[in-house]
């Protein structure tokens, strides 16, 4: 089995393209086939090297590795021409001398009469001697494929039987008068040369498929198996577009989505493992993936669900994988240097990531929440201060008592710390929350954080006591009389 992903390098790698790449990759890896990459750069005016780069980067990030060398369609122009000439020689195609001005005029006329424009095959009826004379005279011509009578049908892996009456297909130009191939010819010529067995792509190509099947037959090659994946819609049911927010795979990378979560999410756009199974590792995807789960109806791209799924992946993945990703993001965000992290030690960084990951949906969120543990000066969130330090007099007294209790501990360990704080609460005649919530704000600046004793352990003795001192000096507590 040989499959391919064949993007046109005319923009970034968008979500739909990534889904197509992923499905081909999963199918190939699952069945021990080859997954090939072909850059369809025949449109010289729209193709860019930056876009080709973005496709490579996107695939790399998603972990979709391809086999063999990348094929650049533009390098195969000679073969495309040869194939067109072969069709001319065997009578499967004919020369068409109609100029684009002629064709435009006839198309306008058809539209005016509210009819559909069909090429009327007038050049197919030219006398061979006249054709010869016009060729000799150097008159430019295109090569048109002669669509035979009948119907063209295939069993689509997604949609089942699809049939087109050939009468609905125009005799298509396959080679322009400037010698450049038309998309349908280039694709078929390349797919034959690359020995592609399964063509799996978006639904937007369904109308090309009958033409391509006819070209395969005319070129004497067996058509591959086809699968057309459903369109991707936004949550409003409209075709996914930039209006719906980020549609470039690279954007999600910068939003702190993990590649495995992105693959998991994309896999469920047009495929289902059955039941209500959703969160799946790459290995689980590979295990469950197959045509039995292909869905024919449009799927919905819901960014909120992607974030949720990412949170699930972060919570489940081994820390040995997540911590380096977070570490790199902390450094990139300027919250720590490699040296800072090294000096804290791997166990500390692991602990930080482990404590924060349950509350974060993305790496970016996690990095944001890590701030209080990495910087010297806490930023007090005004809403948290107003809520938890509301009774400033009592807060000041309880914070001071907490400081004294913590400072008096023989060892900075979670169990004795908890015991001491609980007995302090009992002595003060307050619930533990009354003591610990203001302390949480003092330590992190925020009303929500991991468990307070975990926070104290993460910060360590010196930083914890220093932060309580800073809180006691905070204008909110220092200037309000008890």
Per the annotation, the verdict on 297 as an active-site residue is no
**Residue 116, both tokens:** 């559909």
Residue 7 touching ligand GLU (CB under 6 A): yes
- Residue 22 vs 421, nearer CB to ligand GLU: 22
Residue 198 touching ligand GLU (CB under 6 A): no
**Residue 387, both tokens:** 């809520």
Residue 187 touching ligand GLU (CB under 6 A): yes
Residue of 456, 448, 449, 365 lying closest to 418 (CA atoms): 456
- Residue 8 vs 235, nearer CB to ligand GLU: 8
Q: Which stretch binds ligand GLU (CB under 6 A): 3-11, 146-154, 160-168, 441-449?
A: 3-11
For the bound state, the minimum distance from the C-beta of residue 88 to ligand GLU, rounded and expressed in Å, comes to: 24
Q: Out of 14, 19, 198, 201, which residue is the one contacting ligand GLU (CB under 6 A)?
A: 201
Residue 144 touching ligand GLU (CB under 6 A): no
Which of 114, 242, 305, 390 is the catalytic position? 242
- Residue 40 vs 365, nearer CB to ligand GLU: 40
CB atoms within 10 A of CB 238: 10
Q: 204 to 243, contacts with ligand GLU by CB under 6 A?
A: 205
**Number of residues counted as binding ligand GLU (CB under 6 A):** 7
Residue-by-residue DSSP string for 198-265? EEEEEGGGGGGHHHHHHHHHHTT----EEEEEPPEE-TTSSBP-GGGS--BHHHHHHTT--HHHHHHH
Q: Out of 6, 22, 172, 421, which residue is the one contacting ligand GLU (CB under 6 A)?
A: 6
The answer to whether 63 and 263 are in contact (CB under 8 A) is yes
The answer to whether 319 and 354 are in contact (CB under 8 A) is yes
CA–CA separation, 190 and 80 (whole Å): 8
For the bound state, the minimum distance from the C-beta of residue 50 to ligand GLU, rounded and expressed in Å, comes to: 16
For the bound state, the minimum distance from the C-beta of residue 216 to ligand GLU, rounded and expressed in Å, comes to: 13
Helix axes 363-374, 452-472, angle to 10 degrees: 50
Q: Which stretch binds ligand GLU (CB under 6 A): 5-13, 215-223, 253-261, 339-347?
A: 5-13
For the bound state, the minimum distance from the C-beta of residue 177 to ligand GLU, rounded and expressed in Å, comes to: 23
- Residue 186 vs 326, nearer CB to ligand GLU: 186
Residue of 176, 198, 186, 189 lying closest to 216 (CA atoms): 189
Residue 365 touching ligand GLU (CB under 6 A): no
Element (DSSP H or E) covering residue 154: strand 151-156
**Residue 427, both tokens:** 């002595």
Residue 40 touching ligand GLU (CB under 6 A): yes
Residue 8 touching ligand GLU (CB under 6 A): yes
Which neighbouring-strand residues pair with 162? 154
CA–CA separation, 312 and 47 (whole Å): 38
Give the residue numbers annotated as catalytic, written as ranges. Answer: 242
Interface residues with ligand GLU (CB under 6 A)? 6-8, 40, 187, 201, 205
């Amino acid at each position: 089995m040989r499959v391919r992903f064949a993007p046109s390098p005319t923009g970034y790698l968008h979500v739909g393209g990534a889904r197509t790449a992923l499905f081909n990759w999963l199918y190939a890896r699952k069945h021990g086939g080859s997954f090939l990459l072909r850059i369809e750069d025949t449109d010289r005016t729209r193709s860019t090297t930056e876009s080709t780069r973005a496709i490579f980067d996107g695939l790399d990030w998603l972990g979709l590795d391809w086999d063999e060398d990348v094929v650049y369609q533009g390098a195969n122009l000679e073969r495309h021409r040869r194939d067109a000439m072969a069709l001319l020689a065997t009578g499967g195609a004919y020369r068409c001398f109609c100029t684009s001005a002629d064709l435009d005029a006839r198309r306008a006329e058809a539209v005016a009469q509210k009819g559909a424009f069909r090429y009327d095959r007038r050049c197919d009826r030219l006398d061979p001697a006249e054709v010869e004379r016009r060729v000799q005279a150097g008159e430019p011509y295109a090569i048109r494929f002669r669509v035979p009578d009948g119907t063209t049908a295939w069993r689509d892996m997604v949609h089942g039987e699809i049939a087109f009456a050939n009468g609905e297909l125009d005799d298509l130009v396959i080679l322009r008068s400037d010698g450049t191939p038309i998309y349908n010819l280039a694709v078929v010529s390349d797919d034959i040369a690359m020995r592609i067995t399964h063509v799996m792509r978006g639904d937007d190509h369904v109308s090309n498929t009958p033409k391509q099947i006819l070209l395969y037959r005319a070129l004497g090659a067996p058509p591959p198996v086809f699968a057309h994946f459903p369109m991707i819609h936004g949550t409003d049911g409209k075709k996914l577009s930039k209006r719906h927010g980020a549609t470039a795979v690279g954007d999600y990378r910068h939003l702190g989505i993990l590649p495995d979560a992105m693959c998991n999410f994309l896999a469920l756009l047009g495929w289902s493992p059955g039941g209500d199974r959703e969160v799946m590792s790459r290995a689980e995807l590979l295990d469950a993936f197959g045509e039995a789960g292909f869905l024919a109806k449009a799927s919905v791209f819901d960014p909120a669900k992607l974030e949720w799924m990412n949170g699930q992946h972060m919570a489940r993945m081994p820390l040995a994988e997540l911590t380096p990703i977070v570490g790199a993001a902390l450094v990139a965000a300027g919250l720590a240097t490699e040296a800072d992290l090294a000096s804290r030690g791997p166990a500390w960084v692991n602990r930080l990531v482990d404590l924060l990951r349950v509350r974060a949906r993305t790496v970016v969120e996690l990095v944001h929440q890590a701030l209080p543990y990495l910087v010297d000066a806490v930023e007090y969130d005004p809403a948290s201060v107003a809520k938890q330090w509301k009774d400033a007099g009592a807060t000041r007294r309880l914070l001071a008592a907490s400081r004294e209790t913590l400072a008096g501990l023989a060892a900075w360990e979670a169990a004795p710390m908890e015991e001491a704080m609980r007995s302090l609460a009992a002595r003060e005649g307050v619930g533990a929350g009354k003591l610990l919530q203001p302390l949480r704000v003092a330590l992190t600046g925020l009303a929500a954080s991991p468990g307070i004793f975990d926070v104290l352990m993460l910060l360590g003795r010196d930083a914890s006591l220093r932060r309580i001192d800073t809180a006691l000096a905070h204008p909110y507590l220092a200037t309000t009389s008890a």
